Amino acid sequence: MSEYPIFTPDQQSEFLEFYQRHNYGVLSDAFSAEDLRYLNDFVDRSMGEIPKEWQPAIENVHSHGQIIVNHPEVDPYLQHTTAFPLVQAIMGRDEVRFAQFDFRDVPRGLGDTPMSFHRDRNFYPSTDATRRNGVFKESNYLCVIHYLCDVKEGDPCFCVVPNSYHQKYGSIEEAREKMGDAYQEVPIRGPAGTAVFYNIDIYHTRRSGLAQNSRRTQHSYYSCATSPPLTNWVLVPQRLAEHADADQRRYYSQWSEATQEFADAGYTTAYYETHVIDKRT
């Protein structure tokens, strides 16, 4: 019995109502069996072909945060047909902006090193000028984690503290103390294709699994027009930055400092190699 509801893709209004109240929500079947096969094959192939770019940067986890640059074959997943309409409903159809897309792989046998509860981009608290209106006003950024494998008891798993977004909670201990009975740690497990949507301003973590257990995920971060870029390092490639379609150009228009430099450099392989590969060695 899970401690949270799991919505199916056709329960959009129920999902949104839950997300609005809790700042997270879980969807089943967000990727089809075909999507899962395609993405897992892609990751296996890519890790074999460009292992240097997948080297563990942190916590023993293999990851690739710039995979979109040279791989248009993942483009359909940058606005995936199941998750993206819900992202648009939360972030605003015209306001939502691409922020980051990556894969992570906790390898079997090594285990990941423990992660602590944190918020992403906590150096950017929302201000009166940037705070959004409406029922989703707390979501200045949103992340969707898709499980690409089954995540069971004993596997590394994502975990959220619902509604722990208030700036007055300066630490997880403070959130625990001030939220009282409302404080809850919710580990999310489920079959491959499960997706967790969360406001990146709530406390969250990856709970370590047993050392022999693995986990593969795909992480999509979204920003909105009023938020500053999520990172200073994500690269938007030329084919997306200069997309022929104006709506698509707008979606990819929130450039990090690195994207600006990449564009100024003429989107060269040399820039990519310096920015991505050299940083990994």
Write out the residues near ligand AKG by the rule CB under 6 A.
104, 120, 158, 204-206, 217
- Give 158 or 267: the residue with its C-beta nearer to ligand AKG: 158
Kindly report the three-state secondary structure assignment for every residue of 260-277: HHHHHCCCCHHHHHHHHH
Strands (DSSP E) contained in the chain are: 6-7, 24-27, 62-64, 96-106, 142-147, 157-160, 186-188, 195-199, 204-207, 215-224
Closest distance between ligand AKG and the C-beta of residue 199, in Å? 12
Closest distance between ligand AKG and the C-beta of residue 114, in Å? 12
Closest of 4, 1, 26 to residue 186, by C-alpha: 4
Closest distance between ligand AKG and the C-beta of residue 146, in Å? 11
Query: Cα(127)–Cα(196) distance, rounded to whole angstroms?
Result: 26
Query: Cα(142)–Cα(160) distance, rounded to whole angstroms?
Result: 13
Amino acid 239 reads R
Closest of 241, 60, 250 to residue 156, by C-alpha: 60
- Give 116 or 133: the residue with its C-beta nearer to ligand AKG: 116
- Give 132 or 204: the residue with its C-beta nearer to ligand AKG: 204
Residue 165's CB is within 10 A of a number of other CB atoms, namely: 21
Closest distance between ligand AKG and the C-beta of residue 259, in Å? 20
Closest distance between ligand AKG and the C-beta of residue 128, in Å? 26
- Give 122 or 268: the residue with its C-beta nearer to ligand AKG: 122
- Give 63 or 254: the residue with its C-beta nearer to ligand AKG: 63
State the residue number with the nearest CB to ligand AKG. 206
